[in-house]
Amino acid sequence: MTAPKHALTNEITSLKRSAEKRSSELRTADDLEKFRIEFLARKGGIAVLFDKLKTIPADQKPSLGKQLNELRVFVESLFETKRQEFGAEKKTTEKVLDITLPGRTVPIGTLHPITHTLNNIVTIFASMGFAVASGPEIEDDFHNFEALNFPPDHPARDMQDTFFISEKILLRTHTSPVQIRVMEHQEPPIRVIMPGRVYRNEAISARSLSQFHQVEGLYVDRNVTFSELKGTLVAFAKEFYGSDIKYKFRPSFFPFTEPSLEMDITCFICSGKGCPMCKKSGWLEVLGAGMVHPNVFRKIGYDPEMVTGFAFGMGIERTTVLRLGIPDLRMLLENDIKFLEQF
């Protein structure tokens, strides 16, 4: 008389039929992964049956263990067959590389208009023999004011609204302190430009910013003349703005230079006819300059009877908007990609 089948045998048979049916319904790689989890994973159906095998009487374990191993091999073969099928389908649907097509353009960044302007200015003055120097943006009162002929009670201090960190420490209001630092550590002759960021406590508007860039220049030697200053500025302006520009010099005032001047050029937006950019005057102010004041030389230990020199300075943002015809300084700092792509 044949021994009755153990209940586990029925479960093995049922799981085999279920795996066969499920494998015939697989359509995607996601379906295949669900099939693997359902039957072959550590907590899948086959693993559950193997756990039940532990409770079976010892005399029945060999037979049922063999059936379970056969089931596992069978289900694994179903899984592998489908996996290969899906792999072949994926290969046939992959796009073929056409090497005759033109290459894709890789987008790259460009220099910001301010950086481009600054680089141009540095390149022009470097060709004239000027070296480049830099200094700290957090300055002390001596280098930012006192050594530049701004005594504590001097009304010229009111010309610049300053960000003070403490009574004697501040964010520099111009790059002129670098002139002092260079002269403190170097004997004439000195021919150097000083680009950098500066800070002033001003309301932000179309014509002013609280943080901006400047380039200042300094030339100190024996017998440096006012004519050399004017010649240097004219040579720069013609190289930077164009050889056909017209220019003029106006008397001005800066505490650290005497005499002082400002340089205007013909408005290249309207060719001198008058427009909103030049306030209908036909002229654009581009920089300030002058001969270094003797008091500045005395502060750093130079003898003003032995050496003379000139200094000049310009704002990079202002120079950029004048050169490119941009109506508002703030547009340079808004990071509008459509605006920046024009340059």
Task: Give pLDDT tens digits for 147-181.
Answer: 999 888 776 566 568 888 988 899 999 999 999 99
Residue 51 has pLDDT above 90, yes or no: no
4 phi, psi to nearest 5 deg:
-65, 145
Residue 3 has pLDDT above 50, yes or no: no
3-class secondary structure for 140-169? EHHHHCHHHCCCCCCHHHHHCCCCECCCCE
Closest CA to 60 of 12, 6, 127: 6
Residue with more model confidence, 93 or 304 = 304
CB 151 within 8 A of CB 184: no
- What pLDDT sits at residue 92? 47
Least confident of 111-125, 234-248, 260-274: 260-274
Residue with more model confidence, 215 or 285 = 215
Tell how strand 131-132 and strand 190-199 pair up: parallel
CB 133 within 8 A of CB 186: no
Residue 291 has pLDDT above 50, yes or no: yes
- What pLDDT sits at residue 134? 94
- What pLDDT sits at residue 2? 43
pTM: 0.66
**How far is the C-alpha of 201 from the C-alpha of 163, rounded, in Å?**
6
3-class secondary structure for 92-106? HHCCCCCCCCCCCCC
Peptide bond into 259 cis (omega under 30): yes
Q: Which residues pair with 283 in a beta bridge?
A: 266
State which amino acid sits at residue 294: P
Residue 195 has pLDDT above 60, yes or no: yes
Least confident of 195-209, 234-248, 273-287, 288-302: 273-287
Average per-residue pLDDT in the chain? 86
State which amino acid sits at residue 189: P
Q: What percent of the chain has pLDDT over 70?
A: 92
**How far is the C-alpha of 193 from the C-alpha of 54, rounded, in Å?**
88
Q: What CATH number labels 113-340?
A: 3.30.930.10
Span 75-81, average pLDDT: 85
| Dihedral sign for Cα atoms in the order 276, 281, 282, 285 | negative
pLDDT band for position 6 (cuts 50, 70, 90) = low
Query: Residue 228 CB: number of other CB atoms within 10 A?
Result: 16
- What pLDDT sits at residue 176? 94
User: Please, is 135 exposed, middle or buried when counting C-beta atoms within 10 Å of its C-beta (0-12, 13-18, 19+)?
Assistant: middle
Residue 89 has pLDDT above 60, yes or no: no
Query: Residue 172 CB: number of other CB atoms within 10 A?
Result: 26
State which amino acid sits at residue 213: H
